[in-house]
Amino acid sequence: MRLIVTEKDNAARRIAEILSGDSASGERRNGVNVYKWGGQRVVGLSGHVVGVDFPPEYSEWRDVEPAELIDADVVTTPTRENIVATLRSLARKADEVVIATDYDREGELIGKEAYELIREETDAPVERVRFSSITEREVQKAFENPDEIDFDLAAAGEARQIVDLIWGAALTRFLSLSAKQLGNDFISVGRVQSPTLKLIVDREREIEAFDPDDYWEILADLAKDGQGFEAQYFYDDDGSEAERVWDEAAAEAAYADLSESGTATVTEVRRRTRTDDPPAPFNTTAFISAASSLGYSAQRAMSLAEELYTDGYLTYPRTDNTVYPDDLDPGELLGAFEGSYEFGDDAESLLAQDEIEPTRGETESTDHPPIHPTGELPDRNEIGADAWEIYELVVRRFFATVAEPATWAHLRVVAEAAGRSLKANGKRLLEAGYHAVYPYSSAGETVVPAVEEGEELSIDDVELEAKQTQPPRRYGQSRLIQHMEEMGIGTKATRHNIVEKLYDRGYVEDDPPRPTKLADAVVTAAEEYADHVVSEEMTAQLEADMTAIAEGEATLEEVTEESREMLGDIFEELRESREEIGEFLQESLKADRTLGPCPECGQDLLVRRSRQGSYFVGCDGFPECRFTLPLPSSGEPQVMDETCEDHDLREVKMLAGRDTFVHGCPRCKAEAADESEDEVIGDCPECGDGTGPEGQRNEGGEAAEGEGGELAIKHLRSGSRLVGCTRYPDCDYSLPLPRRGEIVVTDERCEEHDLPHIEIHDGEDDDPWELGCPICNYEEFQARNAVENLEDLDGVGPATAEKLQDAGVADPEDLHEVDPDAVAGEVQGVSADRIREWQAELAT
């Protein structure tokens, strides 16, 4: 029997289909899919099925000094025991084995891990196949030309695992224990994560320290024969054309001169033609940047690209290469799109060019080609809207790289009025070139009419605009990843994951990423007491060392030993300052949770968490002071910079994914609820006089003593509003109401429930939101949002649903119970965080 081992289950299924000519069947072993035909078996792993960790005696944080981890042994243990057991049982029956994991450092390590498990069971020969796309041609070619495992490349991946474990665990434990932040609130530190965080924090410091300067700009509307265009005032500043006027008096003088002039005389006309070259092929960073312009986070873009790769539609999306390989025939690949509804016309126009010569970027490597389509066309309805948008982006980028340059006509006009100079620059697209097939790049035109020197133009209007210089912008995710690449932080395979981790750890929020106070505290502490922790030079050196392992110029043992020594030096710096670091972090973390003064004792009010996991506002003077305020039950509270004028408390935002909302001042919400009166609108359907359940009636069918509850509009101290029973807590019947807007009870009534219709008025000019009967409205909401199958969930298309089903997740009930990390390991292109979002959606 020949055993083929792939990195994921969906890759196993795809390869089995290709090699078997669609004749393979599947069976389940230990909950793992195995595909078979003839004497062949294909099994997919779940990425790493073994992991590195410290021995059990190091697991208790409080009993082990963090510095002890520096020289601790690192052991490998199974993380997916059912997959390991299946692989072992198949290996015992195998006469030959083929490792077909992804073709990169991580894939080589996963292949080596599988190899070592197989070697414990059999001496059968083991070969390695490599491909950059899971298409029939590439897979067949790879299996016809097998190679051997690259143990040096795998060792580089293993070194990264070991180094990241030691650095992350030792530093995370040190800072967390010092700050007394344990459990789910531990302070995470990482070899690549921390220098990346410093980039974000440093930029935020630049923004906060920025001191704006005032300047003025003057714009004039010029016209020739009624055709108007805009021109800008400029002056000579040491031989350069300056548009910003830094002196207000000078600006007003120029504005007055131009305003008093009715005409301007053309003094210069310059025409030229410029060529606009097509872009280079996509590498990972350029792809993430382009996907970002479409609104995709780095993590989401890569997840979709990996899914499209596994399904055979794109080449491998983790690559530094920007030069197509010699064996890529662009004409043949274009031909695959002829006749398609979406791309056929553009493909035919490109094939009609006299020459098809792709562009070349600056980086050429031999591992993977740039990201490009394979020529296989997916069904856009099957893969879902997001995956299609990413697929089209990659297809059109390929089209752009084989298209002709664009040609622009530029026109520069200079005019003078009252001794003041005005200029206008127009551009017109003469030949669309690559813009015709790549709509993601700017091709906007600026119209300036044809004028000649000496002509007089009318000045129709002049505007003086007061402006200020602006601080540098925050790094967007794609720009941050580009900056990481420039500085040698991380790799093409890890950078987008690092950014996602910063969000998960609570270090950044919003997009572009903005650092939280926790982030600033951790970076400041590291800079003060051990700046190597956030040094990009240190992590870049380790990345270079791991590349040296891959190239056979260093060994795993040499690099990990060097890393341990570097970490030991850092702990020498940290050890003497442990108490100061702990105090600093505790104060910083407290500041991040502080709202303002307690109205009863004057100490700080803090966001706190109960033993049950819910959030509330409590006094720092507890237990002497027991003043509290409630917070909404949904979301995680974030203290904002905005302060309530009435209570001098910072406002609170509740982070809840797409349902994030601003709660505001907790005291305002509580006092408004205390002052409000319940507004009765009818009988409670559970216990009221009208239709209560039979079990709540006496023998005569009337409400039992103490029954007869009514429905009322209630305002809760947490800020929530609802329609609830007046007999709460004996009867907990309730219906939710929107958080915002004025609730208006109308005279119209529901015939079925005998309740008035309700409207929500939010603004004087807006039409009211007609909720209608609160019971009918809630029933309609439940029906509208019912999740009956996987595709009812946000972001689950037919292809993703099929992959989830292959991983044993057949319906929403299954999804509700699974371990997100385990399923993410089996399903290519779906992250654990995405699964948690779906589980939260099911829970609502």
CA distance 789 to 811: 6
CA distance 621 to 601: 8
CA distance 228 to 460: 9
Residue with tokens 């393979």, as numbered in its chain: 24
**Do 16 and 35 form a contact (C-beta atoms < 8 A)?**
yes
In DSSP terms, 29 is beta-bridged to 32
User: Which burial class, exposed, middle or buried, applies to 597 when counting CB atoms under 10 A from its CB (0-12, 13-18, 19+)?
Assistant: middle
**Do 25 and 36 form a contact (C-beta atoms < 8 A)?**
yes
CA dist 699 → 227, 702, 703, 730 (Å): 89, 7, 9, 21
Reported as type and span, the H/E element at residue 735 is strand 734-737
Catalytic choice (316, 438, 475, 507):
316
CA distance 533 to 520: 14
CA dist 160 → 167, 203, 590 (Å): 11, 28, 35
Strand positions, DSSP E, 129-262: 214-224, 227-237, 240-242
Report residue 221 as tokens: 């509307």
309 included as an active-site residue: no
Reported as type and span, the H/E element at residue 761 is strand 756-761
3-state secondary structure 524-543: HHHHHHCHHHHCHHHHHHHH
Report residue 185 as tokens: 């609130």
Nearest to 54 by CA among 206, 183, 172, 196: 172
**Does the CA dihedral 472-477-478-482 come out positive or negative?**
positive
CB burial of 174-198 (b: ≥16 within 10 Å; e: otherwise) equals: bbbbbbebeeeebbbbbbbbbbbbb
Report residue 785 as tokens: 């949002």
Catalytic residues: 316
